[in-house]
Amino acid sequence: MAHHRATSSISGAGAHAVSLKVLRLSRPQLAIQTPLPRTHFGHELDIPAVASLAHPSSGVDSDFPLTPLLTLPAAFGAAYVGQTFTCTLCANNELRDGDNRSVSGVRIAAELQRPNSAAPLALQLESAGEDDGAVDVTPGGTLQKTLQHELKEEGQHVLAVSVTYTETLHGEGGGDIGGRARTFRKLYQFVAQPLLTVRSKVTERKRSGGKGERQWVLEAQLENVGDASVVLEKVGLQERACIGSRRMNGEGRVVLKAQDIEQVMFLLSEKGEHMEEQKEAEEAEAAGPGRVSLAQIHVEWRSAMGERGVTTGWLTSRAR
């Protein structure tokens, strides 16, 4: 996981009987190998170059750093705006059979502090079973939950995970001699950074004699600001009910290497029969005074390893 703050114990003293592991779920990557240089010392001092290869094979170039093997990332990696952040939360019962303590009623809760929101967002957790409430975890057992959240804001995020459980003490005869509710919390920090930026320009076309439907030319510049390739799968508009659009240049998948730029153009036209009924709704939009929202640009992309991402943004023009 990302940078981890110290654990805070809210109730109870002493070592906790339950531990927490938070792991980010991501797609595997191609394993990288660093071949050793060939030596000719003799006297059995030479190390075979194949010994340093992650995937020794006669059909693969041994001097090439990438291998056909897939491996899970060893670190948290980068989190990008537009991606769905997914991780698994595991509450592990660290007790063993025969201990004079037992654990019951284990719960996991998570919330996310976002850069532009003062109040944390409570996250919905999913599990493989139907254990939505408190769960009794046997010694050595695990309660596992999964969370998913679409990253829409750029900047530092803080994931707070709380574990609550009941710890019961047992006497020599096996009877219960006392119990207490215990809670601890862990905080994880990570930064969501942009992978794809969109710069747009909207120009209203001149009308002959000042009559006729209004038209706008939209120019959008998509730039890959990350350090890996991105595949643009679909670039489109979600127009207002009073607006129609037509793409002016080629469509299809486009591969953007790091720092590459793709330019797209749309022609937007006003539908007069709907303008009046949409006028009040448009003026109420958060487009700013004297602005009218035309459409929302919608970019679907995939990272180099196939993870999906979505980038959106509203396009506005000056009001009449």
In this prediction the pTM is 0.74
Is residue 89 helix, strand or coil?
strand
Q: Which residues contact 43 (CB under 8 A, 6 or more apart)?
A: none
The residue extents of the domains of the chain are: 3-27+74-193, 196-318
- Rounded to whole angstroms, the Cα distance separating 124 from 308 reads 20
Asked whether this chain's domains 3-27+74-193 and 196-318 adopt the same fold, the reply is yes
Per-residue pLDDT of the chain (320 residues; tens, 9 = 90+): 666 665 555 555 678 999 999 999 888 887 777 776 777 777 777 777 676 676 666 655 566 677 777 887 777 878 899 999 999 999 999 998 878 888 999 999 999 999 988 899 999 999 876 666 788 999 999 999 999 999 999 999 999 999 999 999 887 776 777 788 999 999 999 999 988 988 888 888 887 666 677 888 988 899 999 888 899 999 988 888 788 888 888 778 889 999 999 999 999 888 765 555 555 454 445 455 556 778 888 999 998 778 889 988 887 766 55
Tokens of 314: 């509203």
Beta bridge partners of 70: 30
Query: Per CATH, is 3-27+74-193 categorized as 2.40.50.100?
Result: no
Query: Per CATH, is 196-318 categorized as 2.60.40?
Result: yes
Burial class (CB in 10 A: 0-12, 13-18, 19+), 167: buried
